[in-house]
Structure formats: structure tokens, C-alpha cells
Chains A and B, each alone.
Chain A
Amino acid sequence: MMLASLIIVPLAFALFIAVGPERSAARVSLVGMLATLGLSILAAFAFDWGFGGQFQFGMSVDWLPGLGLTLSLGVDSVALMLVLLTAVLGPVCVLASWTAITERVKTYYAWMMVLQAAMIGVFAARDLVFFYICFEFTLIPMFLLIALYGSTNRMRAATKFFLFTFTGSVVALAGLLYVAWHHAQTRGVWTFEIDALELAARTLPPHVQALILGALLLGFAVKVPLFPLHTWLPLAHTEAPTAGSVILAGVLLKLGTYAIYRFVLPFAPEAVIEYAYPLAVLCTIGIIYGGLVCWVQTDVKKLVAYSSVAHLGFCMLGMFALNHAGVTGSVLYMLNHGLSTGALFLLIGMMYERYHTRSMKEIGGLGARMPVWSTFLVFFVMASVGLPGLNGFVGEFLCLMGAFQASDAWGAGLWGTTPGDSTVGGTRGSLGPWVAAVAGTGMIIAAIYLLYMVGKVVFGTLREPPGHASHADHHAGDAHRAAGLPVDLTRREIGALAPIAALCVFLGVYPKPVLDAVQAPVERTVTTIAEARGKPKFRPPVELAPPAEHAAEGAHP
């Protein structure tokens, strides 16, 4: 019931908002978000962290038993933590929209609550149908948030976002349905329970797993987004309202990484092992390419949007390292990126509300005007850069560590004197130190583009858009007051940022609880991979041509 209530409560509040009066919508929404947050914290206390690898709070409702359709819920520690992330960002998003949304307020907040329910549903789902329904259903509220409340280019952005992610997930659906079909073929019954399908999928021969991998990745990698499927992201981020961007970066992208973690790795382990290297190359390209593109942006929001491409490259790199450090790092990265990048979008939204521009050509040196805002910006930039002591570092380091360790070359050739006798700290895998070294340049590039942004926006001589400059010298902040906002942050805005900052410090200084909690699920994933490595590679004498998307990725190194 715990999980069901986490989905039902936001939906109920959506209903309240829809039937209630326009002016109380924001407040009702805040209450709803806080209620969801409270429930999720309750869930966190009720959860038995000692058995984090097992799915708890399980419940299952028969829907169409003839077709094997049920609605099942359940969370392990990874899923629960992503639910918590979603729940934490919820009230923050409402606070961020408080003054920014002035038209069609009811519609806005109602859809926001629906979105919240759908996102929690994705993480809580234990059967494929419910997962997919929620996964797809996040698109509609998000589409509307961008299309109705975005900036100038919003229709194009919304359509592109929708088509892009939708097309991808349809392909993923085909892959998932195929696994269900395979289960029905071999076991004689239809079911969409993820556990059962996992086992069924693993019996598939490697070349079919490769097809599944391709199909699932096409769907989920769009969401992540993995290079080169990222092009919807900068536009959608830039055009979305602040809360939309926060949710997009904070949670929606994690739907992709979570789906890859939940489905791709267990469903097609042999194929993942086979294609880990080309996938890691894509991640690395994403890290460097995304970072460099950030560096030449003039739109602050676009800069932060592209930084997601680079950051999630790290996240996926850790995942494809397929070892403990890497997968742990990847899971932590999901949480940490949600917090720090979410906060950066919030901050940019606050700036935009005051100046109605996001261009670094028009704005600069705000440190003199908005010291509190600037302090928060520098703080979250440092979290994003991966400064040890703040949250970003833990995930980034572990992802790099995983990639570095994962090499079959340890103990052979250059890396050892006795071939075949691998080193203690190395693991099986195809990534290795060179991939880690190249991806590690992303650390440098992240510093380059983020400090470039700080240098332009916070430091230097004060520059404000023409409408503001005339007022600035004589009556500082007149223009702001006209917009109903003071020069620097209000208490409401600080209230939205401070909890995230506190979490960033906590997760950076004492990540131990999270690290411990995710060990059991990660252990399960890594065991699956290890078992798959042990399997003999059975390749039937096929006349099948490899699918087109893999022909391009090249053979295994």
C-alpha cells in the first residue's frame, strides 16, 4: 500500500487542483508534494535497508489475468532512492513555479502532480505493462508543460521532445514485448512480471540478446540521452519552464538510466558484455563532445543542458563498466546529478525571472548584485564539477574507477609481468585505463565550461540588460520590484535551494549510507553479468545479417 499511496496521493491532489479554485492551486500543489515527500520518507523508514536487494512493499493486482496482465509494485534500495529524489524535487519545483507561472495555473499544477505520480510509478513498477504505461505517461505532462508554459520556441521543442523520446520508446516496447512473447513461447504462459521475464531473457542466445539490447537501448538511450541521440535535450531544456527543466534533468533523464539499469543489464547481459566497449566509446564521446559544446554556448540554460549530456556520459560509462565500483558509481551519479543539475536549473530560472534573459552577452558580474544567488551558484557549480566533499565527486570517481578497473588486459602485456594472472584491483571487462583516461578529460572540460559560466555570470564587471542598467545605478532593483521580486533571493527561493544544498553536502561528506544501501542490488546486477561471462558463447551458424544499428558500432575490439 505504501507504494500505491505514493502514486495515488499525487493523482488525488491533481484532481483537487483541477476542481479547486485557480488561486489556491499552487498552495494545494505544494501540500500535495510535501505529502508525497512525507510518505516517501515514511517509506524510507519502513524499508528494511538490510535487505536492500530485495523488492519490498510488494503488491500485485490482477488486471487481465487471461493475458497475464497484472499491476505489480515493489522497490529495492535503488528504486526507493530514486523515488526519494523525485519526492524531494517535487516541492522544490512547486516553489520554483510560485511566481513564474501566472496563467493557466490550475492546468500547470495539476499536470505537475500527474507527472510526479507517473515518475514514481516508473520506479515502483514491478511489471512491464505498468512500467511502460508510466514511462510513456510522463511524456504527456512534460509535453504540455513545455508546450504551454515554455519560452518562445516552445512548440518546436515540445514536439521534438515528444516525437524523439516517443519513437525511441516504441522501439523499446517492441524489444520488451519480444521478451514477453519469448516467455510465452517457452513457458506456455503470458506474464509481464519483470522477474520472470529476466530469467526468460537470459536464456536467449547472444545474437538475439544483441537485438534486444539494440531495441531497448534505442528507446532508453534517447531518454538518457546518450550521444548521438541527445539533440532533443538542449532545445527541450532551454524552452521548458524552470520547474520543467528541473524535473527533466533531475528525474526524467534518470528514467532512461534506470531503465537501462533495470532492463538492459539483466535482460541482455551477454550482449552488454559484448558491446560494452562501443557503448563506452559513445559515452566518452558524449562526455567530451557535450563538454566542448557547453563551452561555446552563450545561453546559460543551454550550457547547463548540454552539461547533462556530458554528465550522463559518466553515469553510463560507470554502468557499462559492469563491475561493482562502476555500477555503484552510476547509481550514485543518478542521484547526484539530479540534485546538482536540478539546482543549477533552479538558479538559472531565478535569474531569468529577474532579468528575462539567459544570454551571457547581456548579463554578467551578478556577484555584486545578487550575492546570495551567486553563492548558491558557485556552490552548485562546484558540486557539478565533482569537487570532493560535495556529492558529485563520489559518483564520478566511482564511475571512472569502474571504467579503469574493467579490463581483461590487467596482468597481461604492458600491465603485468605474468600474462593471464590478473591484478587484485582489476576486473574483467573491455574498458580499461585508456577509456578512463580519455573520459577523465571530461573532469577538466567540466571545470573549463562551468568556471567559464561562473566567470561570465557571477564575476567580472556588472552587466545587466538595457532595461535594468538605467535603473541599476540610481535606484538599484527598481525593475525587480516591478516584477514583484527583490534584487536577491527571497526566503521562498532560499527555502527551495537550501535543502538541496544540504543534501549535496551530506552526500559528499557522508555518502556511506547510500553506498551501503545500494550494495545489495548492485551485487545482484554484477552477479548476473558474471554468470553471463561464464556462459559458453554459443553461436549458431547463422545466415542472419547483424542489425543495421550494430553494424555501425563495429565489432568487438
Chain B
Amino acid sequence: MLHQALHLLPTLAAAPPAHADSGAAATPGGQLLMLVPALCVLAALFSALSGPLKIRSKIPGYFSVACLAGAFVAVLLTYLGHESGVKIAHGFEWITFKWGDGPGQALTGNFAFYVDSLTLLWMLFVTGLGALIALYSVEYMADDVGLGYARYFFAFNIFVLSMSCLVMADNLLLLFLGWEGVGLCSYLLIGYFYKKPVAVAAAKKAFIVNRIGDLGLVLGLLATFVAFGTLGYDPLFAMIRAGVDAKGAPIADSWVTDVIPLLLMAGAFGKSAQVFFYVWLPDAMEGPTPVSALIHAATMVTAGVFLIARMYPLYAADDDHMALSLVAWCGAITALWSATIGMSIFDIKRVMGYSTISQLGYMFAGLGLLAPTGAAFHTLTHAFFKATLFLAVGAVMHGFGGQLDLRRLSGVARMRGFGIVGLAMLVGSLNLSGVPGTAGFFSKDMILAQGFSTPASMIEAPQAIAWVLLLTAGLTAYYTFRAFFRVFTGPVEYLPGDDEHLLEHGRHPKGTTLAEWHKQHGHGHGHDHAHTELTGVAARRAHGRKDFDPTTEEFDPHPPGWAINASLVICALLAIAAAALYFVKTPHAEEGGWVGGMIERSSAAFHSPHEFNLLGITSHSAMYLVSALVGLTGIAVAAFLHAPKGWQGLFLGSRDTAATSRADALTPRLGRVARWARAKWYVDELYDWFLVKPLRGIAYVSSWIDKLLVDGLVDAAGALPARVGRVLRPSQSGVLHGYAAGMAGGVALVLLLVLIVLN
């Protein structure tokens, strides 16, 4: 890698580096980070071996927590020792070979890490949250000990490994290794409950939709190689900063800055579930909830944001920022689109799923609006508060037999043992809604303010994007608190979840059917516990319902234990504390606080223009007011429509049962729009009809052609000599040799003659 960089130096000597402090050549170092993949591999191997070794306890879980915590410490130490510039930690040569000495005559895909502050920013929350959610999983997956427990932690560790490779890679090829690796783990973990057809279908869908984007990424990689003759970031950024390709030709206004960013964007959108690609993420909620928290909210889905941030120099090198405009618009439209779905569906976990898509849209809009710091900050805050939200939802799911319907749960926060869950949920919801003072407020604000500041000469209609995002902020506050008010406040009332939860947790012995299990255990569950008065309430209310399942009548919600509560508390505290980062003063950046300093020192640094004033005040100050107002309005509407009476509903609400609310009366007035939004705008159906079914049709036709036409013709042709052969056949197997030899000689002779004559 380094020798390549040196090789390029003569070409670049003429061009001055654009950013003096980040233009310095990389130096070796950061070797400590090699511990991260090593520890992940160790934990994964241990989990994998605990099956054959017949370890039927939580040991693989705790071992993973320890390893991941160790990885976090390694990252933290590296961060503390990191000043600025880039260090490259070399591991070993992966897909590396050369066929010449010139530029572009070697493919260098090493297992080596590119350590700069962008890498460290991502790694801090990837390993930190990884360890934390592993701890949560130790308890959450406890029912599967001896069944899928080891498999779960194997995939979990491989995920952190892959994600580390993705983030720390020093070249695009290793990034792609991590990229596909996280895809695999996502596939394995979404499909964790592999006996559920829905989960299997969801896993498959996630992998395949991701692969479509991956094709774009692969082609982008290849185009990068063709233009720059390398895939390593260090030589790549050196050339891009100088504004030239490997031949010294200017790249601005050429295919290089148009085609490559668009291809990489396709990959980013696939992984981060944007525009056409988002359909896999809501389905991915079939996986265990900790997985949703870590992979499908906090880390993996931000890989697309990371990719664009990593390659930001290339995106910014384009004169008219065509790709960035597209990124911004796609992000904004996705944000609005999925918020509308989040407003209308009733499954709280899926509400969170759609909200993730929507928030990722904000991040992409931030990148596109020339606010990489805002995007990175929002990624960080979102990682914490969305993980908190998912973990809280998971605790509810865990406690209520997998119940996720917000019409069947009410007042959860008031139940015994669920207090921490309720508080954590509140913290997460306030952040997501962008209530003033929360981390989510500041990070969202940075993106919005930049939207109003970016001149239209740089990005297509940035103000329009900002308005779309502002509207979405209001909708977000509404749907977040719709879920919060309905599930966590109001009268205590609940219905346990369907049987699938029992199935997915494998509480029944392997091999027996669910019906049999019910016969044996149906009334047994909960008998060991003293009935709380809450159960009585639930049962009383539930008896009036047609769909109540009598086998779970004596259902006893089990509140979370210490591991879940501890990780919830830490996660919520982190989500709160993230706000403080905004006010950290660093010498490296004027604004954006700590994250601003991290981004400013990295390759993603971009000096965003500030030239907009709204009514005489700067865009940031204006945004504080406007977005606070929008957010609070959203919450107020949610309270009016969904909150219970009294203080819990901010004295706006009127709900007194779980199932109904003021919104019920409002929805029919919206007519088709509400119905279509609840049906997720029929996007899945559209894809099915216009993509999957036609493709499957083509496949059937191809198969048919293969069977009849091509095969038939060949059979017909083959039958002719076979008939001749049958006449001459003295015995079953002997004939073929003799006749083949004869035929060989004859045909070869004839053809040889033909060739000779022709010549």
C-alpha cells in the first residue's frame, strides 16, 4: 500500500493538497486495532465450538461480551492515543497480486486498517454497542440456551468482525468483504427463528435486495480501479485531492466523478435501505430484537452512510455535485415516505423499523446537503437512541409473549418491573422526536440548518429538501409518541402475544409440535408465580374479546432481569449524554462539537458554506426554534389522539382502553390514503407483480425452453446415430466403445479433410 503511495508521489507533486492537515501521507501504526478482529474471531470460534463441546449454558454469551468489551477497550485506547492524520495497520496480504510495475498493474486488497478519526468514530459505537447488546442478548436469548444460543452468538461475533472490517478497511476490497459479511450475518440472524416461514422469507429478501445494491458497489469498485489504478484509500485520496486520476488527467467534470459515486451510492442505498431498496428492512424485524437494535438500527444500516462519508472526497470532487444532490433528494424522500408508513401501522417494532429507514434518510440528506458532520453526528445519536428504543421494545416483547400490536398493550410503564423500560423508552422517544435539549435535537438540527444554508448553486434545491425534512420531523414526533402514549401510558391492559413467540424462543422441547406442547404445558406456564393483580385485570378485560386465546389465559408478564435493565440504563444514559458531545470544544472544528472535530480531522472534512439568514438570525438559531416547535406540535397531536386522560397524556388525551383512541374516528375521514399508508403503499405488492413474478415467469419459460427445445433438438440429433448404433449393437455396453471408436475415426478424418481442402 505504502509503496504505491510513494509511487504516485511524483505524479502528484505538482498539485497542492486541498486540506493541509489531512493531506499528510499515512504512517504505519494503530496495530492495537488488530485485536478487534482477533477477539471477534476468538469469540466466534468459541461459540461455534460450544455446540460440539456440548456447552449448554450461557458461557458463550458471557465470553462474547468479554471479547467484545475487550475490542471496545482496544478501540478506546487507540482513540485516546490518536491525534490527527492517518495510520495504517497492516495485517496480511489478501487479494493482492501484481502483473507489472506501472500504476494500475497491481491489485492491492490487503487485510489492513485505515485508522483515522472517521474510522474511530464509527468503531467506538460499533464495538461499544456491540458489547452492550451482547450483554442484553445474554438474558434475552436465555430461553434458547443449548438450542440456538451458540449459533446466535457465532453470527453476532462474525457480525462485529465484518463490521469492523467494513469500517476499518484500508481499501475498498476489504470494505466489500465486511460489507458482504454483515449481509451474511444479517441473513443468518433475521432467519434465526428458521422454523418460521416469515423469518426465512425476510432473511432471503434482505440478502437478495442487498445483493442488488452490492452489484452497484462492485461495479463502482471496478470503475475506481480503472480510473485510479488502485483500491486503497490512501493513494486514492491523494489523487482525488489533487483532482486527477492515475494518468494525471483532471477528474472533475469527467465520467469518474459522475459514474463512480452513483455506483457506490447504489450499494450504500441497498445496505442502508433507502429509496427502492428499503423494503427489506421492515421485514428484517422478524429477527430477535437485540439483532434489530444492533444490526438493523445502530450499526449495519449505517454502513451506507459510512461508505459515502469515507468516499466523500470523490463525491465532493464533482463540479456540479450531481451525485450528492441525488443522495440528498433520495434521503429526504425516503425519510418522508417511510414516516408516513410509520404513522399508520400498529406493530411497534415495525414502527421503529420504518423510523430507522426515515432517520437514515436524514443522514443521507445530511451527506447530500454538504453537512457530513451533521450526518455523522446524527448517525451517532441515532445509534444510541434507536438502540435504546429497540431494546425497550424488545423488553416489552420479551415480557408479553411477543406482543407487538400497540392496540393490545397499554400502561406498560406502570406495571411492576417495567419502570426502567418505560423510562428508557421515554428517553429514546424524546430523542427521536427531536425535543429541545436532547441529542437527537442537536444532530437533526445540524442537518436541517445546513439545508437552509447550502446554496442552490451547489446542490439541487436544498431549501426544498430542508422543508421536506422539517415536515418529516413533525411526523416523526407524532408516530414516536403515538407508540409511546399507547403502549406505555394509560390504563394497564394487555394481551400476550401469539404462539409464535413461544415457538421462536424454543421453550417447547425440540421436535414436538406446538399443539402437543400446549397439551403438556398449556396451563402450566405461570403457575409457579404468584398472580399479580395485573394479571387479573388483563384476564378480566381479555375475557370479553373474541380473539383471546384461553391457553394463555393465566399469562404472567415477566419483567426484565438485571442484564436487560443494565444494558437499557447504559444505553439510555449514552443517548442522553450524546447531547453533551455537541458542546464539547475541540481545537479542530468550529462547530459540531466533538463529532465535528472527528470529522474535520478525517477525509470526510468539508467546509460547508454558511450564507443563509432567516429573518436576520443565523440558520442554526432559526432552526432551533422552528424544529423545536415542529417537534412539540407532533407530540401534542399524538397526545391529543392517542394519550390517556390526565397528566400522563399531558392533559390532552382521552383514551381509556388499549384498543381505541380518538384517531379511530379520524382515520376513516382520510379515506383511501390512510388505508394505503397502512398497507405500506403496496410497494411490496408492486415489486412482486412487476419484478418478482415476471422474472419468475422468464425463469419458467427458460426452464421450459431448456427442457423441450434445446434438449429436444439435441435428443433428436442424438437419436439418429443411436438408431444406427442399435442395429449394430451386439451387447449393451460393448457397442458404445466400438462404435464410438469407429465414429471418432470417421468424423475426425472427414473434418480433417474438410479443413485441409478449405485451406
Chains A and B come from one and the same complex:
yes
* Minimal beta-carbon separation of B140 from chain A (angstroms): 22
Residue of B nearest to A514 (CB): B97
For B95, the chain A residues whose CB sits under 8 A away are 394, 397-398, 511, 515
Q: Flag A401-423 by CB within 8 Å of B: 1 or 0 each.
A: 10011000010001111100101
Q: How many A-B residue pairs have CB under 8 A?
A: 230
In the complex, B191 has a CB within 8 A of chain A: yes
Tell whether, in the assembled complex, residue B222 and residue A368 are in contact, meaning their CB atoms are under 8 Å apart. no
Tell whether, in the assembled complex, residue B699 and residue A444 are in contact, meaning their CB atoms are under 8 Å apart. no
Stretch at the interface among A14-22, A267-275, A339-347, A450-458: A450-458
For A476, the chain B residues whose CB sits under 8 A away are 511
* Minimal beta-carbon separation of A37 from chain B (angstroms): 26
Tell whether, in the assembled complex, residue B747 and residue A171 are in contact, meaning their CB atoms are under 8 Å apart. yes
Q: A163-B718, A397-B95 are in contact. Are A458 and B249 (CB under 8 A)?
A: no
Tell whether, in the assembled complex, residue A421 and residue B714 are in contact, meaning their CB atoms are under 8 Å apart. no
Tell whether, in the assembled complex, residue A389 and residue B181 are in contact, meaning their CB atoms are under 8 Å apart. yes
Give bound CA distance, A272 to B499, whole Å: 63
Tell whether, in the assembled complex, residue A416 and residue B246 are in contact, meaning their CB atoms are under 8 Å apart. no
Q: A414-B255, A425-B228 are in contact. Are A401 and B107 (CB under 8 A)?
A: yes
For A437, the chain B residues whose CB sits under 8 A away are 215, 219
Give bound CA distance, A66 to B718, whole Å: 38
Give bound CA distance, A351 to B383, whole Å: 44
Max chain B Cβ within 10 angstroms of own Cβ: one of A324, A368, A476: A324
Residue of A nearest to B721 (CB): A163
Q: A163-B722, A228-B710, A324-B99 are in contact. Are A404 and B737 (CB under 8 A)?
A: no
In the complex, A159 has a CB within 8 A of chain B: yes
Give bound CA distance, A416 to B247, whole Å: 11
Q: Flag A139-179 by CB within 8 Å of B: 1 or 0 each.
A: 01001100100000000000110111011001101110110
Q: A163-B722, A177-B752, A455-B201 are in contact. Are A443 and B711 (CB under 8 A)?
A: no
Tell whether, in the assembled complex, residue A424 and residue B228 are in contact, meaning their CB atoms are under 8 Å apart. yes
| Chain A interface, >50% SS class | helix
In the complex, A103 has a CB within 8 A of chain B: no
* Minimal beta-carbon separation of A433 from chain B (angstroms): 7
Tell whether, in the assembled complex, residue B219 and residue A405 are in contact, meaning their CB atoms are under 8 Å apart. no
Give bound CA distance, A455 to B208, whole Å: 13
In the complex, B562 has a CB within 8 A of chain A: no
Tell whether, in the assembled complex, residue B93 and residue A170 are in contact, meaning their CB atoms are under 8 Å apart. no
| Chain B interface, >50% SS class | helix
Tell whether, in the assembled complex, residue A460 and residue B214 are in contact, meaning their CB atoms are under 8 Å apart. no
In the complex, B322 has a CB within 8 A of chain A: no
Q: A163-B722, A171-B747, A174-B748 are in contact. Are A208 and B759 (CB under 8 A)?
A: yes
In the complex, A461 has a CB within 8 A of chain B: yes
- Residues of chain A from 439 to 454 with CB closer than 8 A to chain B in the complex: 440-441, 443-444, 447-448, 451-452
Residue of A nearest to B714 (CB): A231
In the complex, A289 has a CB within 8 A of chain B: yes
In the complex, A113 has a CB within 8 A of chain B: no
Q: How large is the interface on A (under 10, 10 to 19, 20 to 34, 35 or more residues)?
A: 35 or more
* Minimal beta-carbon separation of B330 from chain A (angstroms): 21
Q: A170-B751, A231-B710, A436-B222 are in contact. Are A296 and B744 (CB under 8 A)?
A: no
Tell whether, in the assembled complex, residue A425 and residue B104 are in contact, meaning their CB atoms are under 8 Å apart. yes
Give bound CA distance, A443 to B214, whole Å: 9
For B195, the chain A residues whose CB sits under 8 A away are 365, 367-368, 459-462
Tell whether, in the assembled complex, residue B211 and residue A443 are in contact, meaning their CB atoms are under 8 Å apart. yes
Q: A423-B247, A425-B229, A440-B218 are in contact. Are A296 and B733 (CB under 8 A)?
A: no
In the complex, B690 has a CB within 8 A of chain A: no
For B104, the chain A residues whose CB sits under 8 A away are 423-426
In the complex, B49 has a CB within 8 A of chain A: no
Give bound CA distance, A215 to B756, whole Å: 13
Q: A160-B718, A293-B703, A387-B184 are in contact. Are A417 and B254 (CB under 8 A)?
A: yes
Tell whether, in the assembled complex, residue A519 and residue B215 are in contact, meaning their CB atoms are under 8 Å apart. no
In the complex, A297 has a CB within 8 A of chain B: yes
Q: A164-B718, A167-B747, A173-B744 are in contact. Are A296 and B703 (CB under 8 A)?
A: yes
Tell whether, in the assembled complex, residue A460 and residue B200 are in contact, meaning their CB atoms are under 8 Å apart. yes
Q: A231-B711, A367-B194 are in contact. Are A178 and B755 (CB under 8 A)?
A: yes
Tell whether, in the assembled complex, residue A177 and residue B748 are in contact, meaning their CB atoms are under 8 Å apart. yes
Tell whether, in the assembled complex, residue A211 and residue B747 are in contact, meaning their CB atoms are under 8 Å apart. no
Tell whether, in the assembled complex, residue A523 and residue B94 are in contact, meaning their CB atoms are under 8 Å apart. no
In the complex, A75 has a CB within 8 A of chain B: no
In the complex, A181 has a CB within 8 A of chain B: yes
Tell whether, in the assembled complex, residue A162 and residue B93 are in contact, meaning their CB atoms are under 8 Å apart. no
Tell whether, in the assembled complex, residue A461 and residue B247 are in contact, meaning their CB atoms are under 8 Å apart. no
Q: Flag A454-480 by CB within 8 Å of B: 1 or 0 each.
A: 010011111000000000010010000
In the complex, A544 has a CB within 8 A of chain B: yes
In the complex, A388 has a CB within 8 A of chain B: yes
* Minimal beta-carbon separation of A480 from chain B (angstroms): 14
For A414, the chain B residues whose CB sits under 8 A away are 255
In the complex, B520 has a CB within 8 A of chain A: no
For B710, the chain A residues whose CB sits under 8 A away are 228, 231
In the complex, B684 has a CB within 8 A of chain A: no
Max chain B Cβ within 10 angstroms of own Cβ: one of A426, A444, A473, A511: A444
In the complex, A512 has a CB within 8 A of chain B: yes
For B228, the chain A residues whose CB sits under 8 A away are 424-425
Tell whether, in the assembled complex, residue B177 and residue A459 are in contact, meaning their CB atoms are under 8 Å apart. no
Tell whether, in the assembled complex, residue A458 and residue B194 are in contact, meaning their CB atoms are under 8 Å apart. yes
* Minimal beta-carbon separation of B259 from chain A (angstroms): 8
In the complex, A509 has a CB within 8 A of chain B: yes
Tell whether, in the assembled complex, residue A387 and residue B180 are in contact, meaning their CB atoms are under 8 Å apart. yes
Residue of B nearest to A462 (CB): B195
Per a CB cutoff under 8 Å, which of B176, B212, B754 touches A388? B176
Tell whether, in the assembled complex, residue A296 and residue B227 are in contact, meaning their CB atoms are under 8 Å apart. no
* Minimal beta-carbon separation of A499 from chain B (angstroms): 17
In the complex, A553 has a CB within 8 A of chain B: no
Per a CB cutoff under 8 Å, which of A175, A208, A459 touches B200? A459
* Minimal beta-carbon separation of B753 from chain A (angstroms): 9
For B743, the chain A residues whose CB sits under 8 A away are 166-167, 170
Give bound CA distance, A433 to B221, whole Å: 12
Tell whether, in the assembled complex, residue A433 and residue B696 are in contact, meaning their CB atoms are under 8 Å apart. no
- Residues of chain A from 314 to 348 with CB closer than 8 A to chain B in the complex: 324-325, 328
Give bound CA distance, A398 to B195, whole Å: 37
Tell whether, in the assembled complex, residue B222 and residue A405 are in contact, meaning their CB atoms are under 8 Å apart. yes
In the complex, A71 has a CB within 8 A of chain B: no
Q: A228-B710, A328-B97 are in contact. Are A293 and B747 (CB under 8 A)?
A: no
Per a CB cutoff under 8 Å, which of B94, B105, B245, B737 touches A511? B94
For A389, the chain B residues whose CB sits under 8 A away are 177, 180-181
For A195, the chain B residues whose CB sits under 8 A away are none
For A509, the chain B residues whose CB sits under 8 A away are 94
For A544, the chain B residues whose CB sits under 8 A away are 758
Per a CB cutoff under 8 Å, which of B226, B747, B759 touches A410? B226
Give bound CA distance, A400 to B743, whole Å: 40
In the complex, B332 has a CB within 8 A of chain A: no
Interface residues of A (CB under 8 A from B): 136, 140, 143-144, 147, 159-160, 162-164, 166-167, 170-171, 173-175, 177-178, 181, 208, 211, 215, 228, 231-232, 234, 289, 292-293, 295-297, 324-325, 328, 365, 367-368, 371, 378, 382, 387-389, 393-394, 397-398, 400-401, 404-405, 410, 414-418, 421, 423-426, 433, 436-437, 440-441, 443-444, 447-448, 451-452, 455, 458-462, 473, 476, 509-512, 515-516, 519, 522-523, 526, 544
| 7 A–B pairs (Cβ distance < 8 Å), ordered by A | A170-B751, A181-B752, A296-B696, A388-B181, A404-B219, A443-B214, A460-B194
New A-B pairs, 8, CB < 8 Å, besides A292-B702, A512-B97 = A162-B740, A170-B747, A292-B699, A296-B700, A398-B107, A424-B246, A433-B219, A459-B194
Interface residues of B (CB under 8 A from A): 51, 92-99, 102-105, 107, 173, 176-177, 179-181, 184, 187-188, 191, 194-195, 197, 200-201, 203-204, 207-208, 211-212, 214-215, 218-219, 222-223, 225-229, 245-247, 249-250, 254-255, 510-513, 695-696, 698-700, 702-703, 706, 710-711, 714-715, 718, 721-722, 733, 736-737, 740, 743-744, 747-748, 751-752, 754-756, 758-759
The 6 A-B pairs of least Cβ separation, nearest first, read A174-B751, A424-B104, A424-B246, A425-B226, A292-B699, A424-B229
